[in-house]
């Protein structure tokens, strides 16, 4: 599998930056007050990028194998059952069905 690692790394840095910006915007006297929904998207983006990286491998190299099957072990902040009822919403929470 050929992967543009420059793009994956850039996406990871952007997702991390969005998460930090959200946390900083909600910090008061060194206490962070956010709802799970406020950080759900940046965390989901990071999870998706990490899953993409985990699926990369190099043929014949046991030290760089496909870890895609282990991606299911990465938890969601808000459980997956809760998101299934909103599967017809886009990133902004608007209905798209």
Q: What percent of the chain has pLDDT over 90?
A: 57
Whether the pLDDT of residue 50 is over 70: the answer is: yes
* Helix H or strand E encompassing 48: helix 36-54
pLDDT band with cut points at 50, 70 and 90 for residue 5: confident
Interatomic CA distance for residues 26 and 45, integer angstroms: 20
What are the structural domain ranges in the chain?
A: 5-84
Interatomic CA distance for residues 23 and 9, integer angstroms: 21
Q: With a threshold of 0.95, does the pTM exceed it? A: no
Look at phi and psi of residue 32 and say left if phi exceeds 0, alpha if psi is from -120 to 50, else beta.
beta
- Cα-Cα end-to-end distance for the chain: 34
């Amino acid at each position: 599998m050929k992967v543009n690692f420059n793009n994956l790394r850039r996406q990871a840095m952007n997702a991390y930056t969005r998460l930090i910006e959200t946390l900083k915007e909600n910090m008061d006297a060194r206490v962070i007050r956010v709802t799970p929904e406020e950080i759900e998207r940046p965390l989901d983006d990071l999870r998706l990028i990490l899953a993409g990286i985990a699926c990369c491998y190099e043929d014949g190299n046991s030290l760089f194998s496909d870890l895609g099957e282990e991606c299911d072990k990465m938890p969601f902040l808000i459980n997956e059952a809760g998101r299934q009822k909103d599967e017809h919403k886009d990133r902004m929470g608007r209905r798209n069905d």
